[in-house]
Amino acid sequence: MTIPQALSFAIIVGMMVLFASDRIRYDLIAAVALCCGALTGIVPPSHVFEGFSNPVIIIIASVLVLSRAIAVSGAIEGVMRRIMRRIRSSTLQIGTLTAAVTLLSAVIKNIGTLGMFLPIAIQTAQRRKRPVSRYLMPLAFGSLVGGTITEIGTSPNLLIATVRQEVLGTPYHLFDFAPVGLPLSLVAIAFLSVGWRLLPQNRIGRAAAEKRFAIEDYMTEAVVPPASPFIGKTIADLEDIAEGEVTVITVIREHDRRYIPASHWTIFENDVLVLQADPVALRPVVDQAGLKLLGEEELAALKPRDKDDQLEVIEAVVSPDSPLVGWTPAGMHLRQSYELNLLAISRGNRRLATRLRHTRFREGDVVVLQGRSKQLNENLPRLGCLPLAERNLAIGRPRSKRLLPVIVMAGAMLLIAFGMVRAELGFFAAATLVVLSGVLTPKEALDAIDWPIVIMLACLIPVGEAVKDTGAAGLIADGLTRVAGQLPGYLAVGVMLISAMLITPMLHHAAAVLVMGPVAAAVAKNLGYGPDAFLMAVALGASCDFLTPIGHQNNLLVMGPGGYKFADYWRLGLPLSCIVAVFGTSLILIVWPLGSAMIATAR
């Protein structure tokens, strides 16, 4: 063993220890590993920062922006909510949610898909008075398997494509993973649709961010425009689409006459509905019913002062010394003098007896204000309003572009699939387009990018190359070759898949691919096989960590809301891991026959 090889092993072991300890951020661990590699000389100075220019980084950041745009648009969420209202069986509910998350994870980054569906799953479980813990883990596991369908679904697929390019000169393409990932995903969906019964019922999860504020429901006013599909329908029909989360407490018609409506009342054009709801729950109802919040269009029509002056919505509390106290929005000329629109107000558990524009502010009121970012930043302190912690409030957004991010994403994937543009350029251009079109503000686009993941990958790519270049990967491969050499080829591929699956919880899925990818290629060469089956086994194994909450952020994301304990992951994860190992290995060998190195190179 040479000194560079020994240093490579030391860095790998150090990373494994630090990742397993969970005491230091994973992006910082990767940065330390890169620094150690550069200072010891195993990473050449000219290669230290090459990871930041790697196409994988551009693709991941761009797909995260596109995923956020699709989530903000509410297009998919609205469809799923309508579907879930018609399903009563737990098996069908969990199966439908899992199938949606799994299949969408092929085109939307899997963590983005899971984040989009978590609120829907939690609300579905709570409305049916069923344990949330039975719903969330199947979604997390489904998102991991679904990410294996395409190159962009999960980081291991993107990274193994770069490993293949180094080995064979050409990377995997967008849909090269589908012949293995899609059938495997269908098998996983079938299992998870019934396997949820293995999970405990008595877990109590942590409240979601939207529920931790302990704010009573807001009062807001919405007008029924001529194009609303709910004209002629009843109040009960409108409340039914929210399943109890939105209540129509007053109908205003006939020149400001207020009525307390019965459930059978008919909704007419130009009715003003006073709604009681949380802003997060209000958005899908307003969108589906085609309602317009009073004042939102007038404010949106105001021209921005500069390129950074975006339309925003913020929650704030009225402080005791606020000049608003005792005044109404009309009296303070909020729109004319401050260019702010009061969308909603919450006053404990009290119902307001007057219109929003005539309601006198009180100390402690919680308000939802809409305005341009410049005006909000300048006028909130002047008005004595203290902003609350940021929530995902989608009310007040224009609805005319709901389908645009979906169309842009689909268009980019088609162009990439037909080889008309490179993947990194196609997704980067698509992400740029959704920001230029106003679906996301530049700030929202930057916030959508998971910067710790980006930094970690950019740091680990040169480290992974150093492990290969120093020959450390070859030494590991020699050891695995001695084991795999005693086995038939199909079992050797299975051993590689299981090895990647087991090392991922200790080394993070991205690091596992960057370390095990070159090892897999070397093992295949030593055994006289083409590398594709072994590379695919590494990518699949690293993508499918179902045994712990720490191997993938999706598993960690559901741990709090589901109230899961560490051992709970084994209940559902162990049988699913066995299914992936058996079916995954079989599918890989069917799609990517072992062949020879020459055949694989020609492919």
Domain residues of the chain, as ranges? 3-204+450-602, 214-294, 298-387
Question: What is the pLDDT, as a whole number, of residue 32?
Answer: 92
Question: What is the pLDDT, as a whole number, of residue 551?
Answer: 65
| Token duo for residue 206 | 């942590």
Rounded distance, CA 61 to CA 146, Å? Answer: 19
pLDDT band at 121; cut points 50, 70, 90: confident
Q: What is the mean pLDDT of residues 415-429?
A: 85
CA-CA-CA-CA torsion sign (435, 436, 439, 442): positive
Strands 257-259 and 385-387: what pairing? Answer: unpaired
Q: For a pLDDT cut of 90, what percent of the chain falls above it? A: 14
Question: Of 365, 310, 314, which Cα lies nearest the Cα of 341?
Answer: 314
Number of C-beta neighbours around residue 183 at 10 A: 17
- Element spanning 344, H or E: strand 340-346
Looking at per-residue pLDDT, the higher value among 411 and 480 belongs to 411
Rounded distance, CA 173 to CA 161, Å? Answer: 8
- First-to-last CA distance in the chain? 35
The distance of Cα 276 from the centroid of its chain, to the nearest Å, equals 29
Query: Does residue 509 register a pLDDT over 80?
Result: no
| Token duo for residue 107 | 């085109």
Query: Does residue 548 register a pLDDT over 80?
Result: no
Q: What is the mean pLDDT of residues 294-314?
A: 65
pTM: 0.68
| Token duo for residue 188 | 């996983």
C-alpha distances in angstroms, 597 versus 23, 164, 262, 484, 540? Answer: 42, 13, 75, 17, 21
Note every long-range contact of 185-188, with CB atoms under 8 Å and residues 24 or more positions apart, other chains counting.
185/102, 185/103, 185/106, 185/142, 185/145, 185/146, 185/148, 185/149, 187/579, 187/583, 188/102, 188/141, 188/142, 188/145, 188/576, 188/579, 188/580
Question: Of 520, 542, 516, which Cα lies nearest the Cα of 530?
Answer: 520
- CATH 3.30.70.1450 corresponds to the domain 214-294: yes
On average, the pLDDT of the chain sits at 81
Rounded distance, CA 566 to CA 137, Å? Answer: 12
| Token duo for residue 287 | 């969108």
Q: Tokens 């009290």 belong to which residue? A: 350
Choosing among 3.40.50.1370, 1.10.1740.10, 3.30.70.1450, 3.30.300.20, the CATH entry for 298-387 is 3.30.70.1450
Question: What is the pLDDT, as a whole number, of residue 210?
Answer: 46
| Token duo for residue 582 | 């058996």
Most confident of 4-13, 300-309, 555-564: 4-13
DSSP 388: P
Asked if 277 and 217 count as a contact pair (C-beta separation under 8 A), the reply is: yes
Name the phi and psi angles at 550, rounded to 5: -100, -15
Most confident of 160-169, 190-199, 402-411, 479-488: 190-199
Question: What is the pLDDT, as a whole number, of residue 587?
Answer: 94
Rounded distance, CA 201 to CA 197, Å? Answer: 9
Question: What is the pLDDT, as a whole number, of residue 213?
Answer: 44
Question: What is the pLDDT, as a whole number, of residue 578?
Answer: 93
